[in-house]
Structure 1
Amino acid sequence: MGMADTETARTRAGWMDMLRGLAVLLVALFHIQYPVAERVPGTPDALLRFGEAMQPFRMPLLFFLSGLLLPRSLAKPLKTYTAGKLRGLVWPFALWTAIVVVCFEVLWTDDDPLRLFTDVPAMLMGWQHMWFLSVLIVCYAVAPLTRFLPSWALPVPLAIAATFIVSDGSWAEYGQKVLWYGAFFFVGAAVSRYLHTWQRLHPALPSAMLAFTVVWGYIAAHDRELRTAMGFSTFLISLVGVLGVLWLAPRIPRIRFLEWAGRGSIVVYLVNLTAITVAFESIDALGITDARAVVTILCIAGLALPLAMVPLGRTVLFTWPAPPAPAPARSGDTVNPRRTPR
């Protein structure tokens, strides 16, 4: 890879991290806003509306960005690809599912104290906010098929299939999430080949897409059905916003803090809602009613603590350590094939 290609790759990684950081912080703020509104009378309605306006775009953007990196991941041998996903996705999913269940069992004691531990289907589907990693694991498990079936052939059928799931059962709802968010994941994989072309497009179309996104976000903020429905039409609308932001990203001044948060996005995501729930229950248990104290505690739990833990992103709390690479042979060493262990 030449110097120009290296610089391009670094620039691309920078704005991708920035978008990922923005999306995960919007998720964190969204998780804070409802506890604040419930415990602080007079919470500005605009705060809730802003979080709800972002709802059609936050999680689709995270799945899309993961899909953008899929071709690079699939370029690795299948064994290396699988091991990487087991360490970086399956391990934190399993560990934090256990952490979440233990925390919430302690907080939500009832007549059946082991109820959460015995609800295996709920844990597999991703209990509480863990659904994101669960769905992402399914996407990566299916992804090797794109070596034989092109990525662009998957999003439309997946989004259409999501439209026809109308059952209220937990597995049906989970299947709808897999199909709908999987469509964004594989759109990202398909777009990765044309990313440079898209970002060099004349501003007219992307600007119109961004304007539409702002208008739709405002409308969706006032209609729960519009911002939560998972169908083909809402897939297209959310995709318009994601593609508009994708075009805009390299034109935004670099925000190092967001890039840093993006590189630790899994930490922020996993810690955020868990800490908020513990903080919320503690506020009730301690009888704290002062508005400033409530807001401070929830912001510390939902933002400060997750961000403070970002440096732990490479520890066993969030990824299983990779095996040490074999030491390179020293100059002059020779290998006798007859002595090589078989």
Structure 2
Amino acid sequence: MSKTRLVWMDSLRGMAVLFIIIYHSTTVPIAWWSARDYSFQVPDIINSINVSLSPYRVPCLLIISGLLLNRSRSKGTKRYLLGKFYNIFWAYLVWCSIIILTTGNFSQMTNVWFWAGGNILWYLPVIFFCYIAGTWRPFNIPWLVYSFVFLALLFLKDPSTNAVIRILWFGAFFFVGAYLAKHLTWLQERMPLAFVWALGAISVYGIYHALTSDISEHHLLNFFTSVCGSIFLIWLAPYFPEAKFMKMVQFVGQNSIIFYVAHGPVMYVLLRLLGTPETLSWYVIAFMMLLSSLTACFCLAKYRKYIDFLFVFPQRPRGEGS
């Protein structure tokens, strides 16, 4: 992919990660205090915003990751698998351990479902499984078939565990992205304007549908609107303005692993320091969650070279003797 494409991809990835952090700044405090028998409700307007973004927040992130599958596989199987272990599995192990430390919930150390994705970092085991599944492609089967298989397993088998449901549902988006990779130039440069308008209309409908429908989140209509909305954003991303704000968003996209894994533990630390929220309004608490997590993540990203072992498996430099 060209440099221009990487810039737009950083922008889109950065926006998705920022929306996830904003979402968690409004929901993590609720879950934290609910587990401690303290009632605390999200204002209706904030809840509506969170729901309206749900069709595109994580699905778009998975589709973007899927776009890079073929490029990753071209490195060879050994390098491909090691790369996913070094950059995804390792970060997940490290930051799940940090979550246990920051929450003080040491019983999770022996909870299989916690390590299988039953925590705020569940996206990483999902994407790791997708990359592992992507190593096997007999007869050069179209990636879209993988997406159909994941959906079929979800709807026909109806798994009872959230970890499996997430892998099958969001994995389907990942392989849609892998399929779209070979059509990316057409989507961004040659797609008829009528298609663009149609995708835009479906995207708006997806927001309306999320706000007004009572059907299950894991419904084919939701899958369709999320895919269409994500394709519309992929078409739109190269036209994002070159503003200072977008440079910050691109920085988040370039360091997405840091922002994704670190924002939750920062929030947990702040929540432990706050105690009970008797004297603070919900808006103040949410703002504190957002500001503290973003500030900490920007600092970690800036000084990453000193703490890179927290995000990537430490390796001996090439050529270094034993």
1:60-75 counterparts in 2 under 5 A? 60-75=59-74
Paired amino acid for 1:52 = V
Residues 45 and 158 of structure 1: CA distance in aligned 2, closer, same or farther (over 3 Å): same
The 8 Å contact of residues 97 and 126 in structure 1, kept in 2 or not, is answered as no
**2:309 counterpart of 1:300:** no
Paired amino acid for 1:308 = C
CA distance, structure 2, for counterparts of residue 218 and residue 245 of structure 1: 17
1:319-334 counterparts in 2 under 5 A? 319-326=312-319
Partner of 2:226: 238
Judge which range, 303-312 or 254-263, deviates more: 303-312
Shift, 1:123, TM fit: 3.0
Residues 296 and 155 of structure 1: CA distance in aligned 2, closer, same or farther (over 3 Å): closer
1:106-145 counterparts in 2 under 5 A? 106=104, 114-119=106-111, 121-145=112-136
The 8 Å contact of residues 150 and 169 in structure 2, kept in 1 or not, is answered as yes
Task: Give SS of 1:164's match.
Answer: helix
What TM-score, normalized by structure 2, do the two folds share? 0.86
CA distance, structure 1, for counterparts of residue 206 and residue 142 of structure 2: 31
Shift, 1:274, TM fit: 2.1
Structure showing greater radius of gyration is 1
Partner of 1:152: 144
Residues 321 and 242 of structure 1: CA distance in aligned 2, closer, same or farther (over 3 Å): same
**2:176 counterpart of 1:184:** no
Task: Show structure 1 runs of 4+ deviating over 6 A.
Answer: 36-43
Paired amino acid for 2:183 = Y
Partner of 1:212: 202
CA distance, structure 1, for counterparts of residue 261 and residue 62 of structure 2: 16
CA distance, structure 1, for counterparts of residue 117 and residue 268 of structure 2: 16
The 8 Å contact of residues 86 and 312 in structure 2, kept in 1 or not, is answered as yes
**2:188 counterpart of 1:195:** no
CA distance, structure 2, for counterparts of residue 320 and residue 150 of structure 1: 32
Partner of 2:256: 265
Partner of 1:333: none
CA distance, structure 1, for counterparts of residue 147 and residue 42 of structure 2: 39
* Residues 165-184 of structure 1 deviation map (CA, whole Å, 9 limit, x = unaligned): 435x33xx222211111111
Segments of structure 1 that go 5 or more residues without pairing to the other structure are: 1-7, 109-113, 328-342
CA distance, structure 1, for counterparts of residue 303 and residue 58 of structure 2: 23
Shift, 1:74, TM fit: 0.4
1:229 to 217, 228, 231: 217
Paired amino acid for 1:231 = H
Partner of 2:16: 23
* Residues 143-164 of structure 1 deviation map (CA, whole Å, 9 limit, x = unaligned): 1113643312211221232223
* Residues 82-109 of structure 1 deviation map (CA, whole Å, 9 limit, x = unaligned): 11111101110111111112222x2x5x
RMSD, aligned CA: 2.6
What TM-score, normalized by structure 1, do the two folds share? 0.81
Identity of aligned residues (%): 25
